[in-house]
Amino acid sequence: MKRRTLLGGTIAVAVLGLTTAAIGQQAPIKIGMSMAQTGGLAGGGKASLLGIEVWRDDVNARGGLLGRKVELVVYDDKSSASETPAIYSKLLDVDKVDILFAPYATVPTAPLMPLVKQRGMLLMGNFSFQVNSKVGHDMWFNNAPWGPADSWASSFLDLGQKAGGKTIALLAADQEFAQNLAKTAREVATKLGMQVVFDQAYPPSTVEFSGILRALKAAKPDIVYVASYPPDSAGILRAVNEIGIGDNVKLFGGGMVGLQFGTVMENLGSLLNGVVNYNTWLPEPQMYNDGTKAFFEAYTKRAVEAKVDPLGYYLAPYGYANGQMIEQAIKAVGSLDQKALAKYLREKTHKTIVGSITFAADGEWKETGVVQAQFRGIKDKNIEQFRSPGKQVILFPAKMKSGDLITPFEAARK
Amino acid sequence: MKRNGMYFWGGAALFLAGALLMTQVIGNQYPFFACYVILQFIVLAVAWSILGGYAGYVNFGTSAFFGVGVYTAVFLFKATGVPLAVQIAAAAAVGALMGFALGLLTLRMQGIFFSIATIAATIIIETAITNWRYVGGASGIQLQRPAVMAPFDNYVEMLFFVQAVMVVLAVAISRYIQNSWIGRGLQALKDDELAAECTGVPTLRLKLTACVISGALMCAAGAPAAMYLQYADPASAFNLNYSVSALAMSLIGGTAHWAGPVIGAILLGVTQQLLTVTISSEVNVLVLGVMLVLFVVAAPEGIVGLIRKVRSKRNEGEG
């Protein structure tokens, strides 16, 4: 009995101590999220998180928001959809966070959409693809520059058509993101009056692509649209290097994930030459905005220590931009009222380090910010070369253009 | 024996009453989300143990059964919008059929070959679902939950209670098997299948029974997951993690007694949930790995085996 009294007393004192400490200073604004730190999406998740952390430190150095410090509450979702509902429920019900950021990528985000809609919470998306199209949550804002669903394929196929392409081959991984890309590519091809002469999905575990590429080559397409994931992107480029792709191919690439990551680019080296692929940020002069340079200086310094992508072009600046958007919204609204913040985000244009962002009704970018760029003059085993302009020449959009397309693909590879 | 049964059913009723009370009293959603996952793993581990523990057939295909359960529910919900109970019942039926097919496999394959075949089955089924566009294919499918039924005021609370009922069902079945002629027969064929056959144990019938029951329970456990996530994609539904966890939970708890998988699932499930929201980095994978190694080395017969050993030593000491 005595021991119990002592224990109770200790707990009471501890609780009392904690409460007084909390009252002593204003509670921080908590931003909650899950982020892949293990599993297949961990590489991207960690880089994205570092971008958000750089923003947190910047905003706290500027005195925080509403006179309160900004704190991140982050849990590992193991790259899995089955982990996120419980994590976000904890963020909302136990940690009582003020703002929610979505996890990196589509699969972990998809189960959250109905949850945040039911709870009336604002959710800042993080590089997912069309997760809101069926749910229709009016407080969802995606930081990814995809824009309208078909803009991705249309930008690439448009380039191909201008280069004289009439037929198209589709090669896509049998996974959610790649299949979404392939679907829109088929629709856009029909709209542009192009003929699909080859349409192949391959299982995600495929490592050997020479058979598929031989069949593709035999179909003699003008444009090859590839929607692949990092391991297969490398496998496909190696197979292309081995057996070639045919002289009539004018444009090759489009939706190859992985060719944006520093280590993958370093490993592939000269095999990248000639490929036209999507990207979200590149060190071309047109892509610098207010704060972009300072961000990358801070990121590069911390990337080594955090063991993440040393370049960090793909995700990290967009993580920072998510912070910037919420910062602007909170400052303008003057509170953490979810509806008011969402209204501000929906109606205004937001200046960020990745450019000006305006949202459409579905919470995606009104205009696409995805660029299509061609790899040029890449040498083997040198990651630093990707920091200089001219290595990935922007072909689309027109206002960002930093060079012209070199065709055919076989000529551009040399 | 009878007194044991009374204790068991009393405990089960108390557990269900507690679960129901929780849904009525606790307003915070998080416990239901977290406990749902733990309960789901209890059903999976108990189901795995019926074949893997009693009969000694190591099944790596838990994720195949779980995934088929998820997609049976997705298909039925999309096609007809049937209620949750029907989804679960249908998943159990499909699981039983799958279990029957798996049982026939044991005719030709034993030991490691059987285990490899179950992994192969997972890959084949996942590939088939990945190419089935009606249920979302590779892109996955988002689902909108229907209205919740009384007395629950929240769908997750209802799912939690439904899963609690399934835990009681699974444990009751497992306990019945262990204490009946089926359990003794399975035990015999686990020790030496040929000898068991020679002494008149109907090995094929027993293996088929174990496979059918185990498969039905695993699929049934997967069915509510579609509504829990409100989303299904092949990579998550057929995640190998379900197979590994179900196996690890049974091994850590002990496979010789029905309580083993329950204890293992609670221990490992709670640890996983805690680590997710505490350490939450690569370290939690390491912690689980170390835990597994420690248990395999220190308690090869699981926690139940350890308890038995301690008890028998104490009895010896007293004697």
CATH number of the structural domain spanning residue A72: 3.40.50.2300
A32: nearest CA in chain B? B277
Distance, C-alpha A68 to centroid of its chain: 29
Separation in Å, CA of B258 to nearest CA in chain A: 27
User: For B223-228, what is the mean pLDDT?
Assistant: 95
SS (H, E, C) chain A: CHHHHHHHHHHHHHHHHHHHHHHHCCCCEEEEEEECCCCCCHHHHHHHHHHHHHHHHHHHHCCCECCECEEEEEEECCCCCCCHHHHHHHHHHCCCCCEEEEEECHHHHCCHHHHHHHHCCCEEEECCCCCCCCCCCCCEEECCCCCCCCHHHHHHHHHHHHCCCCEEEEEEECCHHHHHHHHHHHHHHHHCCCEEEEEEEECCCCCCCHHHHHHHHHCCCCEEEEEECHHHHHHHHHHHHHHCCCCCCCEEEEEECCCCCHHHHHHHHHHHCCCEEEECCCCCHHHCCCCHHHHHHHHHHHHHHHCCCCCCCCCHHHHHHHHHHHHHHHHHHCCCCHHHHHHHHHHCCEEECCEEECECCCCCECCCCCEEEEECCCCCCCCHHHHCCCCEEEEECHHHCCCCCCCCHHHHHC
pTM of the model: 0.88
DSSP SS3 for B232: strand
Query: What stretch of H or E contains B231?
Result: strand B231-232
Q: Are both A97 and A124 inside the same structural domain?
A: yes
- How large is the C-alpha radius of gyration of chain A? 23
Cβ atoms of A365 and A146 closer than 8 Å: yes
All residues at 6 or more sequence positions from B114 whose CB lies less than 8 Å from its CB, including other chains:
B57, B58, B59, B105, B106
The reply to whether A295 falls in a domain is: yes
Is any Cβ of chain B less than 8 angstroms from the Cβ of A93? Answer: yes
What residues form DSSP beta bridges with A269? none
Average pLDDT of chain B? 92
How far, in Å, are A41, A59, A60, B137 from residue A66 at the CA level? 34, 11, 11, 46
The reply to whether A37 falls in a domain is: yes
Residues B195 and A155: their CA atoms lie apart, in Å, by 70
pLDDT at site A6:
47
The reply to whether A340 falls in a domain is: yes
Structure tokens at B111: 């030991």
The reply to whether A371 falls in a domain is: no
The reply to whether A2 falls in a domain is: no
Which of A85, A113, A204 lies nearest to residue B142, judging by beta carbons? A113
All residues at 6 or more sequence positions from B247 whose CB lies less than 8 Å from its CB, including other chains:
B48, B52, B58, B60, B62
- How large is the C-alpha radius of gyration of chain B? 20
The complex's ipTM works out to 0.89
pLDDT at site B149:
85
Q: Domain-by-domain residue ranges, chain B? A: 29-318
Residues B32 and B159: their CA atoms lie apart, in Å, by 9
Options 3.30.70, 1.10.3470, 3.30.1360, 1.10.287; CATH of B29-318:
1.10.3470
Q: What is the largest CA-CA distance in chain A?
A: 89
The reply to whether A368 falls in a domain is: no
Crossing angle between the packed helical segments B111-130 and B240-253, to the nearest 10 degrees: 150
Could you say which of A310, A328, A357 is where a domain stops?
A357
Is any Cβ of chain B less than 8 angstroms from the Cβ of A409? Answer: no
Q: Are both A32 and A54 inside the same structural domain?
A: yes
The reply to whether A12 falls in a domain is: no
* Sign of the C-alpha dihedral computed for residues B4, B215, B276 and B231 taken in this order: negative
Query: Side chain identity at A157, as an amino acid letter?
Result: L
Separation in Å, CA of B33 to nearest CA in chain A: 5
Query: Side chain identity at A119, as an amino acid letter?
Result: R
DSSP SS3 for B141: strand
Distance, C-alpha B133 to centroid of its chain: 28
pLDDT at site B1:
53
DSSP SS3 for B203: helix
Q: Are both A176 and A262 inside the same structural domain?
A: yes
Q: Are both A44 and A83 inside the same structural domain?
A: yes
Distance, C-alpha B42 to centroid of its chain: 6
User: For B143-169, what is the mean pLDDT?
Assistant: 92
CB contact under 8 A, B140 and A107: yes
pLDDT at site B131:
87
Q: Are both A110 and A162 inside the same structural domain?
A: no
**Closest listed residue to residue A204, CA positions, set A242, A233, A245, A241:** A233
Query: Over 60: is that where the pLDDT of B319 sits?
Result: no
All residues at 6 or more sequence positions from A380 whose CB lies less than 8 Å from its CB, including other chains:
A269, A270
pLDDT at site A16:
44
Q: Are both A334 and A294 inside the same structural domain?
A: yes
User: For B288-309, what is the mean pLDDT?
Assistant: 86
Cβ atoms of A128 and A142 closer than 8 Å: yes
The reply to whether A17 falls in a domain is: no
Q: Are both A175 and A138 inside the same structural domain?
A: no
CB B58: neighbour CB atoms within 10 A? 17
Q: What is the largest CA-CA distance in chain B?
A: 67
CB contact under 8 A, A89 and B30: yes
Cβ atoms of A33 and A301 closer than 8 Å: no
Residues B164 and A4: their CA atoms lie apart, in Å, by 33
Percent pLDDT > 70 in chain B is 99
DSSP SS3 for B142: strand
Residues B265 and B46: their CA atoms lie apart, in Å, by 9
Q: Are both A243 and A136 inside the same structural domain?
A: no
pLDDT at site A230:
86
- Site from A175, A202, A229 to mutate, B interface, most B CB atoms within 10 angstroms: A175
Per-residue pLDDT of chain A (414 residues; tens, 9 = 90+): 445 554 454 444 444 444 444 434 789 999 999 999 988 888 899 999 999 999 999 999 999 999 999 999 999 998 889 899 999 999 999 999 999 999 999 889 999 999 999 999 999 999 998 899 889 999 999 999 999 888 889 999 999 999 999 999 999 998 878 888 899 999 999 999 999 999 999 987 888 999 999 999 999 999 999 999 888 999 999 999 999 998 999 999 999 999 999 999 999 999 999 999 999 999 999 999 999 999 999 999 999 888 899 999 999 999 999 999 999 999 999 999 999 999 999 999 999 999 999 999 999 999 999 999 999 999 999 999 999 999 999 999 999 999 999 999 999 988
> Which among A28-32, B3-7, B109-113, B150-154 has the top mean pLDDT?
A28-32
Overall number of domains in chain A: 2
> A-B interface: how many C-beta pairs under 8 angstroms?
104
- The DSSP bridge pattern shows strands A99-104 and A123-126 to be parallel
Alpha helix positions (H), chain B: 2-25, 30-49, 62-79, 84-105, 111-130, 155-179, 181-191, 193-198, 203-229, 234-237, 240-253, 259-277, 282-298, 302-318
Which residues of chain B lie closer than 8 angstroms to A228, CB-CB? none
Q: Are both A248 and A168 inside the same structural domain?
A: yes
Residues A118 and A340: their CA atoms lie apart, in Å, by 17
Q: Are both A171 and A52 inside the same structural domain?
A: no
How far, in Å, are B104, B144, B163, B169, B268 from residue B225 at the CA level? 28, 13, 10, 18, 19
* Sign of the C-alpha dihedral computed for residues B34, B40, B46 and B49 taken in this order: negative
Q: Are both A261 and A395 inside the same structural domain?
A: yes
Query: Side chain identity at B127, as an amino acid letter?
Result: T
How does DSSP classify residue B29?
A: S
The range of the structural domain enclosing residue A232 comes to 151-279+376-412
Q: Are both A388 and A272 inside the same structural domain?
A: yes
Residue indicated by tokens 């027969």: B185
Which of A80, A178, A201 lies nearest to residue B236, judging by beta carbons? A80
Separation in Å, CA of B186 to nearest CA in chain A: 34
All residues at 6 or more sequence positions from B91 whose CB lies less than 8 Å from its CB, including other chains:
B68, B69, B72, B73, B219, B220, B222, B223
Chain B interface, Cβ < 8 Å to A: 28-30, 32-34, 36-37, 127, 130-131, 137-140, 142, 144-145, 156, 225, 228-231, 233, 235-236, 239, 241, 273, 276-277, 280-282, 284-285
User: For B113-141, what is the mean pLDDT?
Assistant: 91
All residues at 6 or more sequence positions from B184 whose CB lies less than 8 Å from its CB, including other chains:
none
